Structure 1
């Protein structure tokens, strides 16, 4: 008997069965019915239904995790937020010895502007809402805001010892890494007024990254060779451990795409510490190169670029294989330090800390595309804009 075109869900299920109902819904939503055909084939084979992807229960107020298997899924090439889509593409380079920010046009590889800022700028940090770039003037005890739409700097905001800057995943707090003060200072993300100060017993807090659910973050302590685990909601250090190497000097921190592993660059161990963030058990060392310093995930979430400042190289770490798959050497040497990946994923930008220059590196071949002369002591440069819904801080950690 022919089935009427207009059916209630209950009647359709009774007459046609759940598989056919899926087919009707699939045709309406997709047009080609491919999903329904795959479901029908699966049912005919007697295969069990695919296991549902577990939903990540995130920190209250945090945007949902789109893909639990890849927390960088929203950082794909040129997937720019509407907030930043009209911003000009620039590379902002803080020069710690010149008290300036060099602004590079990535199309021409030329410095198009030099902005005077406070004493010893360390990092240029995108705000959680993507609308502001904050220059961390460490010795000047200020943050200089830059409008990335116009490139103009605003009035400096008084903030003590701002070596580095992060934002909680819910966007409610800025977290100042007060390295010499031995503090994590939770502030209003806009006014920078203090909300809570968390003293730490380690020395030299500097870099961090957050768990996939945003409920904790791992912090490196450069001068005492330690790691901290911090409860995001409570704004409190809940665990602390010494790295298993005398003289360890941990730097940048990045979490793996599946959120299961943290990697911590160590410039004295010449490699990355591999840490289970949930258990916070003793990490193991994965060698990369002399002076391992900065960690940057590629736009396909398959590789991570590791700058080895002490030997002028970049190691390419393969997440799936858990090993370094190749190493690129800068011609004529150099001191690759901190940076970021271009919006299209084709260029890795790194500051040359001891050489007053910036390197542009082809992410497909490792070839050097350009060396751009900047001020003295270039450090935590930011490539901006970049893909992502929001920023967790540093030179651009996006989700």
Structure 2
């Protein structure tokens, strides 16, 4: 790569959080929310100072996290089949139990929010369903609505089409859910063991981390076609910035950057131990990465500034 080091993405801050951080989400108020699965807490990072402003106790083994600009933060507690709901003042205001038949072992992971439809989608591998929580109005104690999706792990929403994309690691596929009917309308073959997923709506792309390979699959939402980008090490999760560059956590302790135009890896950024979830924070322009192996979050500046 013929680019000077000053212009390369690099870690500009390392923030200690709780035990085994795995999920990351951002809101519109310069806050970064990190689920500490080993501690049953959520760390709230102020992206202006890169310091933890507060730590909230949620349910056991929180994993997925998503935010809504009006209704707050949603945390999937994998150890309890519950979703913790946190308001804009960082107060836990509700716990919604997923109404799982025959109470199988809790196995919840991904959560995503569609603000305009006032819905939160929660993937539960134990029930082979993606559960729907209506997030406006009075909250029910249980979530009763769902979409049948075999082996769902992570979930992402296209804010333009409102379609929901769900990774299925046991089937090497991504299911597409139509919110108008709450049914699967397409199943897209991708690479081995797809885990993390991110939608790039302006460019009509869905990026999928195929953890059983060294590739990221890119689904063209207009045509349904799939192309692969080799990232050289096992991908875990993926996030997309405002320019369309994709950031991929890898099993070797680095984050690969896939250029929006080149479709190839343009940089590799060393972060902490066992990086998992990550999210792009638009005000600072940084990408925040949860390092599950050492209890930290790395803040990456895309141009090293």
TM-score, normalized by the shorter chain, greater than 0.5: yes
Native 8 Å contact 2:154 2:197 kept in 1? no
Deviations 1:179-228 (A, max 9, x none): 11111222323233233433432632322334473233332113443221
Cα pair distance change 1:312/1:296, threshold 3 Å: same
* Cα deviation, residue 177, structure 1: 0.9
The reply on whether 1:163 has 2:69 as its aligned counterpart is no
Deviations 1:305-340 (A, max 9, x none): 22212111122211111232x22112xx31212232
* Cα deviation, residue 378, structure 1: 0.4
1:252 aligned residue (139, 155, 167): 155
CA distance in 1, matches of 2:184, 2:161: 20
SS of the counterpart of 2:277?
A: coil
SS of the counterpart of 2:181?
A: coil
Q: Highest CA radius of gyration, 1 or 2?
A: 1
CA distance in 2, matches of 1:386, 1:317: 27
SS of the counterpart of 1:300?
A: helix
* Cα deviation, residue 173, structure 1: 3.4
Which residue number corresponds to residue 342 of structure 1?
A: 241
CA distance in 2, matches of 1:164, 1:268: 19
Cα pair distance change 1:255/1:135, threshold 3 Å: same
Native 8 Å contact 1:313 1:327 kept in 2? yes
Which residue number corresponds to residue 314 of structure 1?
A: 216
The reply on whether 1:384 has 2:281 as its aligned counterpart is yes
Deviations 1:374-397 (A, max 9, x none): 222101112222699xxxxxxxxx
SS of the counterpart of 1:163?
A: strand
Which residue number corresponds to residue 351 of structure 1?
A: 249
Deviations 1:4-63 (A, max 9, x none): xxxxxxxxxxxxxxxxxxxxxxxxxxxxxxxxxxxxxxxxxxxxxxxxxxxxxxxxxxxx
Which residue number corresponds to residue 293 of structure 2?
A: none
SS of the counterpart of 2:90?
A: coil
Native 8 Å contact 2:84 2:92 kept in 1? no
Which residue number corresponds to residue 298 of structure 1?
A: 200
Deviations 1:214-248 (A, max 9, x none): 233332113443221222224342323443x5xx2
Which residue number corresponds to residue 329 of structure 1?
A: 230
CA distance in 2, matches of 1:361, 1:304: 13
Q: Which has the higher helix share?
A: 1
Deviations 1:325-359 (A, max 9, x none): x22112xx3121223223322x211111x221111
Native 8 Å contact 1:174 1:187 kept in 2? yes
1:175 aligned residue (55, 70, 74): 74
2:108 aligned residue (184, 202, 205): 205
CA distance in 2, matches of 1:230, 1:318: 28
Which residue number corresponds to residue 220 of structure 1?
A: 123
Native 8 Å contact 1:222 1:251 kept in 2? no
Aligned residues: 273
CA distance in 1, matches of 2:178, 2:201: 23
Cα pair distance change 1:386/1:221, threshold 3 Å: farther
Unaligned runs of 5+ in 2: 286-305
RMSD, aligned α-carbons: 2.7
Cα pair distance change 1:386/1:318, threshold 3 Å: farther
Which residue number corresponds to residue 115 of structure 1?
A: 15
Cα pair distance change 1:321/1:338, threshold 3 Å: same
CA distance in 2, matches of 1:198, 1:340: 28
Cα pair distance change 1:146/1:106, threshold 3 Å: farther
Cα pair distance change 1:153/1:108, threshold 3 Å: farther
Q: Which has the higher strand share?
A: 2
Cα pair distance change 1:378/1:106, threshold 3 Å: farther
